[in-house]
Amino acid sequence: MASSKEAVLQASGRERSVSDLEKPPRSLADSTDGSSLVYDYDSPEDRKLLRKIDLRLIPIVTLLYLLSFLDRSNIGNAKIDGLTKDLHVSPPAYNTALALFFLSNLVFEVPANVSSSLFESWDALKRLNPQIWLPTLTFAWGIASVGQGLITNQPGLFGIRILLGATEAGLFPGVIYVFSVYYRRRERHWRVAIFFGGAALAGAFGGILAYAIGKMEGVGGKRGWQWIFILEGLLTIVISWAAYFLVPTWSHNAKFLTSEERSRLLARLAPDSDSGKKERFAWVCVRQAIADPLVWGYAFLFHGFAFALFSLSVFLPTIIADLGFATWKAQLMTVPPNVLAALGIAFGAWLAARTGKRAPLIIGAAGVAIVEVYVLNVRTAGAQYAGVHFAALGVYTGNALLLSWPSENISGQTKRAIGVAMQITIGDLGSATGLLLYRPAFADNHFRKPHIIAIGYLTFAILVTASLWYWMASENQRRAEIIAAGKDEEVDYETKVLLGDREVHWKYQV
C-alpha cells in the first residue's frame, strides 16, 4: 500500500515546479496563446480580471443562495398564514419538520462536496462541473419547494422537508469551494460575505413576497400559504434554467475568460495556494481534514452561530406576530431587520478588508447579538422589536465573516472541500438544535429560555473564535521567527504538497 506521502503526491500531481510555489511569478512568458504577461497581483489588468470574474460569478451564485434561503425559510411565513392549522400539524411536529430539513442537509453536505472534488478530478465525470452541478441542485430543490405547496398532511410535510434539505445540501459548500479556485485567499472573504448576504436579502424579500402572495387566498382553490411555496418554487426553477448558462466552470477551463486571462488567473493563484492546480482525489486528504483541529474549530464556530441564525430566520415572523401584530403586519415587519442585517454584512466585509482581521470582528458581532438577544427577554413590544433588528445584525454579520475562514486557511483541494463541508454540516447540528428548542413548551415570556440558550451558544462561539485567533497568530509568529532566523530549510515540491497549510511559509489569515 502506498504511503500517505505517496498518496498525497499522486493526488496532487506535478503540474508546477517548486519555484512556482516559493516565489510569486513576476512575468508569464508562456501563456497559452504564446503572448507574454508582465505580472503584478494588483495591476490594472488584475483588477480588470477580478471585475470580470466578479460580474460573472457573484451575482448568479448570490441569487441561487437567496433562493435557497427563501425556499427553506418561507415555511415561517406559511405558518402564520395557516399551514399548521390546515395540515393539522401540532406545534411540536412543526418544530420536528423544521429540524428534519437540517438533519437531511447535514447528512448530504459532505458527500456533495466530495462530489465537487471528484467532478474536478476524474476525467469520467468532467461534465459534472459547477456549471452543471449547481444549477441542477437548484432545479431539484425548486421542485421540492413547489411540492411543499401540494402536500395535504403532516407525513407529507415531513417527507418534503427531508427532500428539500437533501437537494439544497450541496449549494453552499459547493459555491465556497468554487470561490477558492477563482480568488486568492485575501480576496475571498468579502465575496463570501456578499454571497451570504443573499440570506439576509431572502428574509427581506420573503416578507414582501409572503405579504403579496398571501392575497391570493382562494385562487384556484388553494390557500395563500400554498401559493407562497408554489410561486417561490417556480421562481427557483425558472432561474435554475438560466443558471446553466451563467454559472462558470472550473477556473482552468473558464470559457468566459480569454486564454491570456486564464493564464493570468492561474499565475495569480499558484504562489498563494493550490487553487490553480489540478488535484486528484485521495482518501488520505479526507483523513487529513478530519484529523486537523483547526477544521473542527471552524466547524464548532459555525455551530455556535448557526443556532441563532436559523432559529431567527425561521421564527422571525412568529416572534413578531407574538408581539401582538396582525399576520400581514408581521410579514412586512420582517423586512427592516433583514435589510439592517444585509447592511451589516457589507460593512463587516469592508472593515475586514481594511483591517486584515477577521477574528475581532466575529467576536464583536457575537457581542452585539448577545446584547440584543438579551433585549428580546424584556416585556415591552417596542424594545423586543428593536432587539430583533440588532440580533439579526450581529448574527448575520458574524456568520458572513466566519464562513470564508476554512477556504482561506486550508490547503489542499480535497482537504479544503471536506473542511468547508464539515463546517456547514456541524453548523447545521446547531441549527437543528435551535429549531427543536424554539417550541411551545419553551414559549413562555416570548421564548425566554431559548433566547438564553442562544446567548450561551453565541458565548461558545466567542470562545472558539478567541482560541482560533490565538492559535493561528501564535503559529504565524513562530513560523516568521523560523524564517527570520534562516532556519527554514528549502523543501522540494513534493514535501510542500504533503505539508500543505502546515508548511513553514504558509501564513494563516486571522
Of residues 292 and 109, which shows the higher confidence score?
292
Residue that the C-alpha cell 490553480 belongs to: 276
- pLDDT at residue number 126: 40
Q: What DSSP designation does 151 have? A: -
C-alpha closest to that of 360 among 476, 508, 471, 469? 469
Residue 502 DSSP label: G
Q: What is the pLDDT of residue 80?
A: 82
- Residue 37, pLDDT > 50, answer no
The 10s digit of each residue's pLDDT in 242-268 is 999 999 988 878 889 999 999 899 888
382 vs 132, residue with greater confidence: 132
User: Distance of CA 323 to CAs 18, 210, 314, 386, Å?
Assistant: 63, 19, 16, 12
Distance of CA 299 to the CA centre of its chain: 12
In which band, very low, low, confident or very high, does the pLDDT at 313 lie, cut at 50, 70 and 90?
confident
In the numeric block, which cell numbers belong to residue 338? 433583514
Decide which of 246 and 32 is more confident.
Answer: 246
- CA 27 to chain centroid: 35
Up-side HSE of residue 28: CA atoms within 13 Å toward CB?
Answer: 24
Check whether 485 has a pLDDT greater than 60.
Answer: yes
For 42-252+282-502, CATH number? 1.20.1250.20
Of 230, 486, 469, 493, residue with least CA distance to 363: 469
- Continuous segment of H or E residues that includes residue 168: helix 154-168
Residue 121 pLDDT: 44
The answer to whether residues 406 and 295 touch, using CB atoms and an 8 Å cutoff, is yes
| DSSP 8-state class, residue 23 | S
What pLDDT is attached to residue 15? 39
- Per-residue model confidence (pLDDT) at position 129: 82
187-241 pLDDT, tens digit each:
888 888 889 888 788 878 777 888 888 889 889 889 999 999 999 999 999 999 9
- pLDDT, position 333: 81
pLDDT (average), residues 18-23 = 36
More confident residue, 334 or 306: 306
pLDDT exceeds 80 at position 63: yes
Which grid coordinates belong to 143? 421542485
The rounded distance, in Å, linking the Cα atoms of 149 and 155 is 14
Largest CA distance in the chain: 77
What does each C-alpha distance from 30 to 12, 43, 244, 350, 392 come to in angstroms?
Answer: 22, 19, 32, 36, 50
- Tell whether the model's pLDDT for residue 344 goes beyond 90: yes
Q: What is the DSSP letter of 125?
A: G
pLDDT(417) > 80: no
> Position of cell 448574527?
395
Write down the pTM of the prediction.
0.79
Q: Percentage of the chain surpassing pLDDT 70?
A: 81
What single string gives the DSSP state of each residue in 182-242? TS-GGGTHHHHHHHHHHHHHHHHHHHHHHHHHGGGTTGGG--HHHHHHHHHHHHHHHHHHH
Burial of 262 from C-beta contacts in 10 A (0-12 / 13-18 / 19+): buried
Q: Which three-class secondary structure string do you get for 463-497?
A: HHHHHHHHHHHHHHHHHHHHHHCCCCCCCCHHHHH
- Between 12-16, 244-248, 474-478, the lowest mean confidence (pLDDT) is in 12-16
Residue 27: strand, helix, or coil: strand
Tell me what the pLDDT averaged over the chain comes to: 81
What's the CA gap between 110 and 113, in Å, rounded? 5
Name the strand (E) or helix (H) holding 447: helix 444-484
- List all residues 6 or more positions away from 200 whose beta carbon is below 8 Å from its beta carbon: 338, 339, 341, 342, 345, 392, 396
* Nine cell digits for residue 240: 435554475
Query: Taking a C-beta distance cutoff of 8 angstroms, is the pair 76, 70 a contact?
Result: no
192-204: b (≥16 Cβ within 10 Å) or e: bbbbbbbbbbbbb
Above 90 in pLDDT, residue 67? yes
Helix (H) or strand (E) holding 457: helix 444-484
Q: Calculate the alpha carbon distances from 70 to 235, 310, 458 in Å.
A: 11, 12, 24
Give dist(CA 282, CA 13) in Å, integer: 11
